[in-house]
C-alpha cells in the first residue's frame, strides 16, 4: 500500500468487535474499550489498545494478587512500577536489577528470542542510569527424550552468549532444568544487574508538559509486530509461523546505545526515559505519559510518526507503533538540550530525532502524512486497563510421603553416581563455557565454581554483590504455597551461603492459562507463599515479570515462579566458596534434618516417582540459620559453605568435594531412615567445613540453631561411614559427561 490517501483511509477506518477479537480483545473488553473511548476505535487505536491491554503489558490477571508482595525495606529505593528495582548498597551507590521472560519468542526462534531477551533486560537496567555489570539466566527445557530440546538448547545458549558476549557484560550465573513439563513451552528468563550512584538514577516518571520527545537508537522495522500479543496467548501446533513476531537483535548497537545513553544522562539533558520493550513505541510513550506530571497525574503526548527513523519503506502508523525492533529508547529532554543530545548520539552513529512533544491534554495523539491517525486518552490504556479477579480453585494437597514404602538402597555409591549424572544434577559446563564470565574484570565467583551465588566486585572497592536465581517447580506443582515459600527461601540461602546479606528479589512468574481456575489457583497460592517468605525474611520484591499462557494445545507448563536474589558482601576478605580445602577437617550441618523425601530428586531419579508433599519450611528457623551462617563467615570462622538443596546432604557434600578436588567421609544417623538422612531435601540447611567444629557448634547453640557434625574431610573419594567409596575424579568426569553427550547430536 503506497497511496497515502488509501493508507490513511485504512488506518482511520472504524473497527468493530470482530476486529477486536482478531486483536485479542474479548467481548467484555470491547465493551469496556468503547465505553472508555466514547466511540469505536480506528485500526491504529485498536492496535494500541490490544497491546496495552494484553496480559504481557497490563498484568490484568495477576495485578490484584501481585499487590500482596512486600515491596519495601530500609534498603529499597525503588520498588515495582519502574523499568527495574533499585536498592541501597551503601556508600551512596545503588544496585538496579530485574528479571524478565522471553519464553514464547525463544520457542519459536531460539537464537533471536534468547538474544533479544538479553538485550531487553539490559535496557531495563541502563535506562535507569545504571551500568550493567552482570547477567543471569534461568532456562527450562523439555525432557531429554523429547525431539526438540537439543536444537532449542543449542539456539538459546548461542543467542544468550552471542548477545551477552558481544555487548560486553558477563553472564555470571544461572540454572538449567530438563523436564517433560516444558516439552511444549520452554522458559527463558533473563536477569540483569547494574550499578549507579543514588543521586544519578533516572525514571520513566518525571516528564512534564512542553518538553521534546526524543527517539534514540536503532531504526524501526517490521520485526516484532504483535510480539506482546503473541506472548499473551497459548501456542498450538504449527506456531513456528509466528517467527515474524520475534525481534532481531544487534548487540553491537546495544553497546553503543549503553554508552551514548549514559553519556547523555551525565549531561543533564534527560528529564524522563523509557526503554522500548514489549509493544515498542506504544508502551514507552503511554507508560511515560501515564506516570508523568508534577505529581504523577499523567500528561499527554503528541508524536509525528513520519519523523520516526525507519529502516523499511512504506511503514504505516500501525506498524511503527507496534513494532518491537530492538535497541531503541524514548526520552523526554529539557528543551535547551536537544543539540547536546543529537551531538552525543551522532558521535555513536545512532539515530536520534525529536519526534514530538509532551502536552497537558492527557491524550496520545499521533499523526502520519500530516493527518491525525490516533487521538485517545492515556489513562484507559494504563491504570484503567482491565484488572480481573479471575475465578480460582484451591490446588489439591499432596499427602506426606510414606518413606516406609521404599527400601533402603543397597549401594549408596551407586545412588550417588546416578543422581550426579542425571539431567537435573549433571554439570552444565557445556552451557556456561559459551558465556564470557569475566569481561569487565570484576567477577570473583561464577557458575564455573558450582557455587550457590555469583559474586561480582563493585569496581574499585572491596565490596561485592552476590547474585542468584532459583526455583524448584516440582515443589510448586505439589503445593504452590509451600513451593512459593521454598523458591524465595532458596534464594535467601544461596546468598547467605557465600556470606552476602540478602537485600531483595526480582521474580518471573511463569504459569499456564490464567483463565483456567485450576491454573489461577496455582498462581494465587504461589504468590501468597512467596509473599509470606519475603515478609518473614525481610526480602522484598522490587521488580519482576509475569509470563502467563505458557501452554501448547491446552497443556500448561509446570508452575515456575523463578526468583532472582541480590545481596551485598561488605568485605570480600570475608566470603565463602563451595570447594573443600585441605585442613578444614570437619563437615557440620547447620539446620535440622527431618528426613523429607517428598518431591525429592532421589525419589524421581532412583524410584521413578514424583510423589508426596514438598518439604515444609519454618521461616523463623530459616532466618536464624541464615543469620548464623553469615555471622560465621563475616567473623572469618567459615570459608567453605554450601546450602543443602536438590539431592540432599550427600549430593551437597559431593558438590563440595568435586569443587575442591578432595574427598570426604559422611556419617549416617544413629536412628531413622538412612536414605532420608542422605537424600532428604529438608529446608533451611547448610553444610560448612571447619577446622574448629566446637566453635561452630557452640555458636549454633547460642543462636538456637540445630547443628551436628556430619562428616570428615580427606582423601580422594566420597564415602559413607567408610564404605560405598566413589572416586571424586570419577564422579566429576561422570557429572560433566552428560551434557556434552546429550548435545553431541544437536542440529
User: What long-range pairs does 307-310 form, CB within 8 A, spacing at least 24?
Assistant: 307/215, 307/353, 307/354, 307/355, 307/356, 308/215, 308/220, 308/281, 308/353, 308/355, 309/215, 309/219, 309/220, 309/351, 309/353, 310/219, 310/220, 310/221
Q: Burial-class residue 747 by CB neighbours within 10 Å (0-12, 13-18, 19+).
A: exposed
Dump strand ranges (E) for 383-522: 443-445, 454-457, 464-470, 501-510
User: What long-range pairs does 291-298 form, CB within 8 A, spacing at least 24?
Assistant: 291/81, 291/203, 291/204, 291/205, 292/205, 292/206, 292/207, 292/208, 292/332, 292/358, 293/207, 293/208, 293/209, 294/208, 296/205, 298/362, 298/378, 298/379, 298/382
Grid coordinates representing 670?
544413629
Q: Which residues contact 135 (CB under 8 A, 6 or more apart)?
A: 118, 121, 122, 160, 164, 169, 170, 171, 172, 190, 191, 192, 193
Q: Pick the catalytic residue: 23, 102, 474, 642? A: 102
The two counts, helices (H) then strands (E), for the chain are: 25, 28
Dump strand ranges (E) for 527-645: 541-547, 551-552, 555-556, 560-569, 586-590, 640-643
Angle made by CA atoms 370, 373, 376, in degrees to the nearest 5: 130
Residues paired with residue 463 on neighbouring β-strands, in sequence order: none
Residues paired with residue 358 on neighbouring β-strands, in sequence order: 301
Q: Phi/psi at 561 (nearest 5 deg)?
A: -85, 90
Residues paired with residue 568 on neighbouring β-strands, in sequence order: 465, 501
419 with 605: CB under 8 angstroms? yes
DSSP letter, residue 337 = G
Name the nearest CA neighbour of 282 among 320, 242, 338, 244.
320
Residues paired with residue 301 on neighbouring β-strands, in sequence order: 358, 364
Q: Pick the catalytic residue: 23, 56, 65, 104? A: 56
Q: Phi/psi at 680 (nearest 5 deg)?
A: -65, 150
Name the nearest CA neighbour of 169 among 442, 464, 469.
442
Q: Annotated catalytic, 226? A: no
DSSP letter, residue 189 = E
The position carrying cell 520484591 is 541
Length of the chain counted residue by residue: 747
Name the nearest CA neighbour of 564 among 134, 149, 184, 132.
134
- Active site members: 56, 102
Amino acid at each position: 500500500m503506497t497511496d497515502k490517501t488509501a493508507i490513511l483511509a485504512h488506518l482511520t477506518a472504524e473497527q468493530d468487535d470482530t476486529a477486536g477479537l482478531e486483536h485479542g480483545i474479548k467481548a467484555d473488553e470491547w465493551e469496556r474499550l468503547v465505553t472508555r473511548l466514547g466511540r469505536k476505535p480506528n485500526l491504529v487505536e485498536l492496535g494500541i489498545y490490544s497491546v496495552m491491554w494484553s496480559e504481557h503489558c497490563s498484568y490484568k490477571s495477576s495485578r490484584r494478587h501481585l499487590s500482596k508482595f512486600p515491596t519495601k525495606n530500609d534498603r529499597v529505593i525503588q520498588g515495582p512500577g519502574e523499568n527495574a528495582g533499585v536498592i541501597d548498597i551503601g556508600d551512596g551507590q545503588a544496585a538496579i536489577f530485574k528479571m524478565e521472560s522471553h519464553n514464547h519468542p525463544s520457542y519459536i526462534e531460539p537464537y533471536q528470542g534468547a538474544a533479544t531477551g538479553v538485550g531487553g533486560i539490559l535496557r531495563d537496567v541502563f535506562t535507569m542510569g545504571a551500568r550493567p555489570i552482570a547477567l543471569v539466566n534461568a532456562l527450562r527445557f523439555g525432557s531429554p527424550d523429547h525431539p526438540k530440546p537439543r536444537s532449542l538448547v543449542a539456539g538459546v545458549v548461542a543467542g544468550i552468549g552471542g548477545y551477552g558476549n558481544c555487548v560486553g557484560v558477563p553472564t555470571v550465573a544461572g540454572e538449567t532444568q530438563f523436564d517433560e513439563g516444558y516439552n511444549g513451552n520452554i522458559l527463558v528468563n533473563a536477569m540483569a544487574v547494574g550499578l549507579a550512584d543514588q543521586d544519578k538514577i533516572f525514571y520513566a516518571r518525571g516528564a512534564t508538559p512542553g518538553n521534546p520527545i526524543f527517539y534514540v537508537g536503532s531504526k524501526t522495522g517490521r520485526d516484532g509486530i504483535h510480539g506482546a500479543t503473541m506472548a499473551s496467548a497459548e501456542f498450538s501446533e504449527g506456531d513456528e509461523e509466528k517467527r515474524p513476531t520475534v525481534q532481531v537483535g544487534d548487540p553491537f548497537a546495544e553497546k553503543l546505545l549503553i554508552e551514548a545513553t549514559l553519556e547523555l544522562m551525565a549531561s543533564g539533558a534527560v528529564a524522563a526515559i523509557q526503554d522500548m520493550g514489549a509493544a515498542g513505541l506504544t508502551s514507552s510513550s503511554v507508560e511515560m505519559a501515564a506516570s508523568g506530571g508534577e505529581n504523577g497525574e499523567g500528561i499527554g503526548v503528541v508524536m509525528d510518526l513520519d519523523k520516526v527513523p525507519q529502516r523499511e519503506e512504506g511503514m504505516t502508523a500501525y506498524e511503527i507503533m507496534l513494532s518491537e525492533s530492538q535497541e531503541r529508547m524514548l526520552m523526554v529532554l529539557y528543551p535547551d538540550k536537544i543539540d547536546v543530545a543529537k551531538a552525543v548520539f551522532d558521535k555513536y552513529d545512532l539515530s536520534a530525532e525529536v519526534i514530538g512533544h509532551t502536552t497537558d491534554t492527557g491524550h496520545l495523539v499521533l499523526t502520519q502524512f500530516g493527518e491525525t491517525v490516533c487521538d485517545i486518552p492515556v489513562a484507559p490504556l494504563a491504570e484503567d486497563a482491565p484488572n480481573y479477579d479471575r475465578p480460582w480453585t484451591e490446588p489439591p494437597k499432596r499427602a506426606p510421603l510414606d518413606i516406609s514404602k521404599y527400601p533402603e538402597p543397597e549401594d549408596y555409591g551407586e545412588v550417588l553416581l546416578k543422581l550426579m549424572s542425571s539431567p537435573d544434577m549433571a554439570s552444565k559446563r557445556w552451557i556456561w563455557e559459551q558465556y564470557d564470565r569475566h569481561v569487565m574484570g570484576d567477577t570473583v565467583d561464577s557458575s564455573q565454581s558450582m557455587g550457590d551465588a555469583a559474586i561480582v566486585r563493585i569496581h574499585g572497592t572491596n565490596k561485592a554483590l552476590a547474585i542468584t536465581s532459583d526455583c524448584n517447580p516440582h515443589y510448586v506443582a505439589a503445593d504452590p504455597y509451600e513451593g512459593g515459600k521454598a523458591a524465595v527461601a532458596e534464594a535467601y540461602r544461596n546468598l547467605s551461603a557465600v556470606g552476602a546479606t540478602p537485600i531483595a528479589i526480582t521474580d518471573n512468574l511463569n504459569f499456564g492459562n490464567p483463565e483456567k481456575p485450576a491454573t489461577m489457583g496455582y498462581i494465587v497460592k504461589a504468590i501468597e507463599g512467596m509473599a509470606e517468605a519475603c515478609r518473614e525474611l525481610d526480602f522484598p520484591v522490587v521488580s519482576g515479570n509475569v509470563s502467563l499462557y505458557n501452554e501448547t494445545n491446552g497443556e500448561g507448563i509446570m508452575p515456575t515462579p523463578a526468583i532472582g536474589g541480590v545481596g551485598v558482601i561488605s568485605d570480600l576478605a570475608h566470603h565463602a566458596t563451595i570447594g573443600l580445602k585441605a585442613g578444614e577437617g570437619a563437615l557440620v550441618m547447620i539446620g535440622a534434618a527431618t528426613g523429607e523425601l517428598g518431591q525429592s530428586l532421589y525419589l524421581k531419579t532412583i524410584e521413578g516417582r514424583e510423589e508426596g508433599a514438598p518439604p515444609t519450611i519454618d521461616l523463623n528457623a530459616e532466618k536464624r540459620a541464615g543469620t548464623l551462617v553469615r555471622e560465621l563467615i563475616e567473623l572469618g570462622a567459615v570459608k567453605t559453605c554450601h546450602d543443602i538443596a536438590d539431592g540432599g546432604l550427600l549430593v551437597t557434600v559431593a558438590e563440595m568435594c568435586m569443587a575442591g578436588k578432595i574427598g570426604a567421609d559422611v556419617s549416617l544417623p544413629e536412628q531413622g531412615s538412612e536414605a532420608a538422612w542422605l537424600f532428604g531435601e529438608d529446608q533451611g540447611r547448610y553444610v560448612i567445613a571447619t577446622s574448629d567444629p566446637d566453635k561452630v557448634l557452640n555458636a549454633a547453640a547460642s543462636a538456637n540453631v540445630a547443628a551436628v557434625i556430619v562428616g570428615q574431610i580427606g582423601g580422594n573419594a566420597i564415602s559413607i561411614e567408610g564404605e560405598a567409596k566413589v572416586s571424586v575424579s570419577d564422579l566429576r568426569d561422570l557429572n560433566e559427561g552428560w551434557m556434552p553427550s546429550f548435545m553431541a547430536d544437536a542440529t
